[in-house]
Amino acid sequence: MTGRATSRIGAVPRPTDMAPGAPSPRTSPPGSPSPPRSPSPPGSPSPSRRTSPPPFASVLEEHGRALLRFCISQVGADRGEDVFQETMIAALRAYGTLEDPAAARSWLFSIAARKAIDAHRAAGRAPLPLADPGRLADGAAVDPPAADGDELWREVARLPDKQRQAVALRFLADLSHREIGAVMRTSEAAARRNVFEGVRRLREDLTDPAD
């Protein structure tokens, strides 16, 4: 009766093996660099000694809103919530394998980035819905962005996928260029370039709204 824990931490697949939650195996090849984890020191301590992950409720509270905004930025307001839910369920499924609590943020966003790409593929690469970004799926009110912001959002939607993702990972997820590279499977330099180009384009588009 005692100690019959229904789910021992560490007994579930590693995030990279997240088959149940990852519809497209191609998006998570074995040995891929992400999700970022703390390097296990050689002769690392036994699993029972490992630092336990923080309560998922705390992770949700701390990172959830930014993650939802990231999902909306990638697939639009209508599909953003679905991608968010898919991401959190996949994260919950693989949660016991999160070795480094400090990496929870980049780990979550790497799952979300893949889910967003999956959603794009599922939609047959339909153009991003240029829906009113001030509206979520159920029509509930959110703070409507200023006219200026609305215009900028349309420019965000028009960015090449890599730049849109990199800019969102930088500004909504607050990830470093190195972490963005790990999430997007590019070099740190390429991540930096994608962020820079994306922001530059946004700036130009706004400066020259006739575009």
Partner 1 sequence: MAMNDSDPRTEHAANALRTEEIEQALAPDVDPAVWRRITEALAARAAAEDLLDVAVERHDSPFGPLLLAATREGIVRLGFPEEEDGFLDEIARRVSGRVLRAPRPSLSDARHQLDEYFARARTGFDVALDWRLTRGFRRDVLAVTAAIPYGQTASYGEVAARAGSPRAARAAGTALATNPLPILVPCHRVVRGTGVIGPYRGGTEAKRRLLALEAAGGAPGA
Find all residues with CB under 8 Å of 41, minimum gap 6, and list them: none
Q: Which is nearer to partner 1, 44 or 85 (CB)?
A: 85
Q: Which of 44, 144, 160, 211 binds partner 1 (CB under 8 A)?
A: 144
Q: Which is nearer to partner 1, 127 or 208 (CB)?
A: 208
Q: DSSP state, 71?
A: H
Write the DSSP string, 84-148: HHHHHHHHHHTGGG---GGGHHHHHHHHHHHHHHHHHHHTTTPPPP---TTB-TT--B--PPPHH
- Pairwise CA distance, residues 207 & 30, whole Å: 44
Binding-site residue total for partner 1 (CB under 8 A)? 62
188 binds partner 1 (CB under 8 A): no
53 binds partner 1 (CB under 8 A): yes
Task: Write down the least CB distance from residue 4 to partner 1, Å.
Answer: 7
Instruction: State the virtual CA torsion across 181, 160, 19, 187 in degrees, nearest 10.
Output: -20
196 binds partner 1 (CB under 8 A): no
- Pairwise CA distance, residues 5 & 58, whole Å: 21
Task: Write down the least CB distance from residue 31 to partner 1, Å.
Answer: 25
Query: Can you say whether the dihedral through the CA atoms of 175, 181, 184, 185 is positive or negative?
Result: negative
Task: Write down the least CB distance from residue 89 to partner 1, Å.
Answer: 6
- Pairwise CA distance, residues 77 & 147, whole Å: 17
Q: Which stretch binds partner 1 (CB under 8 A): 39-47, 53-61, 110-118, 120-128?
A: 53-61
Q: Which stretch binds partner 1 (CB under 8 A): 40-48, 52-60, 108-116, 122-130?
A: 52-60
- Contact residues for partner 1 (CB under 8 A)? 1-7, 9, 52-58, 60, 64-65, 68-70, 72-73, 77, 80-81, 84-85, 88-89, 92-93, 95-96, 98, 133-134, 136, 138, 140-146, 148-149, 152-153, 155-156, 167-168, 171-172, 199, 202-203, 206-207, 209
